[in-house]
Chain A
């Protein structure tokens, strides 16, 4: 149920994001979802791609600091209250969300939320018990 996400450290200077996307594009890697967390000095680019291992290798070859993180992708009905139901479940179990970001599926019309939890396994168990639909990696990478 876990999905592999790669994170890249980016100094806050012009052209870094362009460089990363260029490297990935040339390696024929497709970005499925992304989020950028930023501070005044640096940022962290989080990506879900169709081939995490290859993306990681090519980025490292180009001198970037990359690490892999396990996240959870949860399908949310695209209607009011959809996200709230998930968060209430997590709250009841006292599970912290480190960060999250969302995208909408190309077909099917559901939203997908990517979560990073402090206790991933506990979160998965809670979501399963709540009957939420989690996407596994292979499905997400090939959406």
Chain B
């Protein structure tokens, strides 16, 4: 089943011709409208017209998260503000988020790609889609929502949290498709069991899980506990949001990336050199139809590989393998992107806190936990318990306010956290994915 059969099964020569045409027009547009790209092309001695085949793409400089930060909030927008109808934001590497803007056409393409993704995952018109991705600045909730409406399914915009109510609604409303993070789905299964609700008696058939890395083992666990087919979805707000790539239910082997809108490349994260098909490296994406904020060779920092082998589902679009990590230090905690540098920025802002900290990430049962260890310096130290506890609570609250992630602050003795020798180790990730 396809949502847009013509484009999803476009023969590769036609697909590549379309990509080149769209790439060239995107390059012309960003060169004319975005000073950052004009400067970056000029510096590399390139004109948009120098790109005459897809192979020339590799000569264009990358766009990085740092570039987005330097352009905060709107400097990378290629369309005038009057045409921007939606603004989303995701975690930046420090206090400021990364901002993206969408035109009406961007929203319509995003809705279509998300609808295509739903169909690839085995959903159809008539399904009741229980959308437990968070609504708000995060792209997950609204991205899946618009796609579900585009598909013609019934969408329940339940958003995250309040798990007991989620389970009641799934049961009473007869939800057939679940969208959330993989770890949250397992948490729901645990809660349901505690409530005496049997997932096998629910109508759920398909689960579309993304926003954090997961494994084949976790898929097996989810499928057996929730009694549904678990599908991996990929997306990032810089590029669009959810629905950049999705597994097809026929193969469940690799995620089709919608190549009529995005050009994927795999590079060596250290040298930036293009890697051949099948080799593992960092995913780089160029958007070729976006108007609000087109990005050229955006370094996603996600580690994967790319294959153009034909798929049994009939889609001609390349597949990326499951994400196996990051080429930077970003952590994904319960679906929230967290950079250690963001936590550092919060800690530095609290008077008396030493910039020595350690993040310990673990998975207790099915949910991720984040512990922030902070050293108690002499100036911080009080001989009253309540003062120290207030300090720990303040750290927890400020991190929650700035990053949207719940953590436990733990005060530790001074000099017990490893000191920086070049690059300090700031993270211990004990999760076994």
A-to-B contact residues, CB < 8 Å: 5, 7, 9-11, 16, 37, 39, 41-42, 44, 46, 63-67, 69, 98-99, 116
Contact = CB atoms under 8 A, between A and B. Distances in A.
Given A9-B376, A42-B388, A116 B383 contact: yes
A37 B378 contact: no
Contacts of A11: 411-413, 416
Contacts of B378: 65-67
* Top 5 A-B residue pairs of the complex, sorted by shortest distance between their CB atoms: A7-B383, A65-B381, A11-B413, A69-B383, A9-B376
Contacts of B376: 9, 42, 65
B372 to A, nearest CB: 12
Nearest to A10: B413
B388 A67 contact: no
B384 A99 contact: yes
Contacts of A42: 376, 388, 410-412
A93 B412 CA distance: 38
14 contacts: A5-B383, A9-B413, A11-B411, A16-B413, A41-B410, A42-B376, A44-B384, A63-B414, A65-B378, A66-B378, A67-B378, A98-B384, A99-B384, A116-B384
B413 A63 contact: yes
Interface of chain A: mostly helix, strand, loop or mixed: strand
B385 A37 contact: yes
A122 to B, nearest CB: 18
A44 B385 CA distance: 7
Contacts of B411: 9, 11, 41-42
Given A41-B411, A44-B388, A66-B378, 13 more contacts: A5-B383, A7-B381, A9-B388, A9-B413, A39-B385, A41-B410, A42-B411, A42-B412, A64-B413, A67-B378, A67-B381, A67-B382, A99-B384
Nearest to A68: B383
B415 A63 contact: yes
Nearest to A44: B383
B389 interface: yes
Contacts of B381: 7, 9, 65-67
A14 B139 CA distance: 46
A46 B377 CA distance: 17
B383 A46 contact: yes
A65 B413 contact: yes
Nearest to A38: B385
A91 to B, nearest CB: 20
Interface residues of B, number: 18
Nearest to A69: B383
A63 B381 CA distance: 14
A67 B388 CA distance: 13
Contacts of B414: 63-65
Nearest to A63: B415
Nearest to B392: A41
Contacts of A39: 385, 389
Contacts of B392: 41
Interface string B361-385: 0000000000000001110011111
Nearest to B382: A67
B31 to A, nearest CB: 56
Contacts of B413: 9-11, 16, 63-65
Given A9-B376, A39-B389, A67 B412 contact: no
A115 to B, nearest CB: 13
Interface string B381-410: 111110011001000000000000000001
Contacts of A41: 392, 410-411
A7 B385 CA distance: 11
Nearest to B375: A65
Contacts of A44: 383-385, 388
B383 A67 contact: yes
A66 B382 CA distance: 9
Most B CB contacts (10 A, CB to CB) among A7, A9, A69, A99 go to: A9
Nearest to B388: A42
A42 B412 CA distance: 8
A67 B379 CA distance: 9
A99 B384 CA distance: 8
A57 to B, nearest CB: 13
A13 to B, nearest CB: 9
Contacts of B415: 63
Interface in B410-429: 410-416
Contacts of A99: 384
Contacts of A46: 383
B389 to A, nearest CB: 7
A90 B389 CA distance: 26
B412 to A, nearest CB: 5
A34 B381 CA distance: 18
B307 to A, nearest CB: 48
Contacts of A116: 383-384
A102 B384 CA distance: 17
Nearest to A98: B384
Most A CB contacts (10 A, CB to CB) among B376, B383, B416 go to: B383
Contacts of A98: 384
A64 B383 CA distance: 13
